[in-house]
Amino acid sequence: MSNVLEVNRLVKRYGDKIALENVTFSVKSGSCFGLLGPNGAGKSTTMKIITSIIEANEGTAAVFGKDIRKEADAIRRQVGYVPQDITLYEKLSARDNLTFFGELYGVRGKELKTRIDEVLKQVGLSERGDDAISTFSGGMKRRINIAAALLHKPKLVILDEPTVGIDPQSRNHIFQMIRELKASGVSMIYSTHYMEEVEALCDDIAIIDHGKVIVQGSLDHLLGTYATQAIYMEAEGLTQAPALPGVNKAYADGKGWVLECSNVLETMGGASRILEERGLPVKSLEIMRPSLESVFLKLTGTTLRD
């Protein structure tokens, strides 16, 4: 699979502050790539460099094999960028806003009208096209913001924290739209500080913190390599975590116990035997799903700050 984006050793300084330090990653064609990191990690800065809104001090980036410094205009025609901030005219209708953005992207006339209908449908707002943006909820405005970036049928869509502060219904629409775009072959870069979004949507990810890429790879690979393995057990009268071989750490969680271990099946077996021997009524005995939260914790020593 070829890469739609190659980012190589990007450095960005704001005065004395280093916002990006040798950021390197690549995005495979047709994939949804998650850029995961806490506030201030450098996600927006990276996206703005890729879309030529700001310039890096050092390093290179190529979109569809084109150098961002030399072929910014050609790249812009193939890329849809959804900024974090909503940039719509409140008094104009959704349709008029989309007309404005479509023309900026060089789409005009009948084709633009058709595309506006299509993108309104894509973001689930066909019924609201003629209403003024001022009557929209925050989530709906964000969906129109996304629609604006799709009018010229970009092959790569870059979304900067598209779900921050929005209602669950809009969030579901955005998720659905991302899945549909992916199914149609569009590549995406999706930045967020919500781990569960990356787990739900992305194939590959880069975890970024303090301007550095800490790790990148497929979600499965990262979870398999770095996530903590654990089981959860809960039983009536189980007042202490049982001492079992292979358990690295045990702590109370709700009414039961989490046992972090190196071999979940072995620990499950041990836990099951102990409960049986003691004759304690079991409420729950399960393998915990590996999480990105534990990957982040293991690699940075901190939880994802908000």
Ligand X SMILES: Nc1ncnc2c1ncn2[C@@H]1O[C@H](COP(=O)(O)OP(=O)(O)OP(=O)(O)O)[C@@H](O)[C@H]1O
Within residues 112-171, the interface with ligand X by CB under 6 A covers 161
Structure tokens at 79: 């890329």
In the complex, minimum distance from the CB of residue 163 to ligand X, in angstroms, rounded to a whole number: 12
User: Using the rule CB under 6 A, which residue among 5, 7, 10, 19 binds ligand X?
Assistant: 19
Count of residues that bind ligand X according to CB under 6 A: 12
Residues 208-227 close enough to bind ligand X by CB under 6 A? none
Residue of 5, 7, 36, 42 interacting with ligand X (CB under 6 A): 42
Asked whether position 14 contacts ligand X by CB under 6 A, the answer is yes
Strand-strand pairing, 3-14 and 17-28: antiparallel
Contact 39, 211 (CB under 8 A): no
Token pair in block for residue 135: 């009557």
By beta-carbon proximity to ligand X, the closer residue of 40 and 59 is 40
The sign of the torsion formed by the CA atoms of 167, 173, 174, 175 equals positive
In the complex, the smallest distance separating the C-beta of residue 189 from ligand X, rounded to whole angstroms, is 12
Tell me the per-residue interface mask from 160 to 199 with ligand X, x by CB under 6 A, - otherwise: -x--------------------------------------
Nearer to ligand X, 277 or 306 (CB): 306
Please, which residue, 23 or 222, has the CB nearer to ligand X? 23
Residue 51 binds ligand X, judged by CB under 6 A: no
Give the CA diameter of the chain.
77
Describe the chain by its helix, strand, coil percentages, rounded to 5. Answer: 35, 30, 35
Q: Does 43 bind ligand X (CB under 6 A)?
A: yes
Distance CA 228, CA 303 (A): 14
DSSP states of 129-164: TTSBGGGS-HHHHHHHHHHHTTTT--SEEEEESTTT
- What string marks each residue from 20 to 39 as x (binds ligand X by CB under 6 A) or -? -----------------x-x
- Distance, in Å, from the CA atom of 76 to the CA atom of 63, rounded to the nearest integer, reads 10
Residues of this chain that bind ligand X (CB under 6 A): 14, 17, 19, 37, 39-45, 161
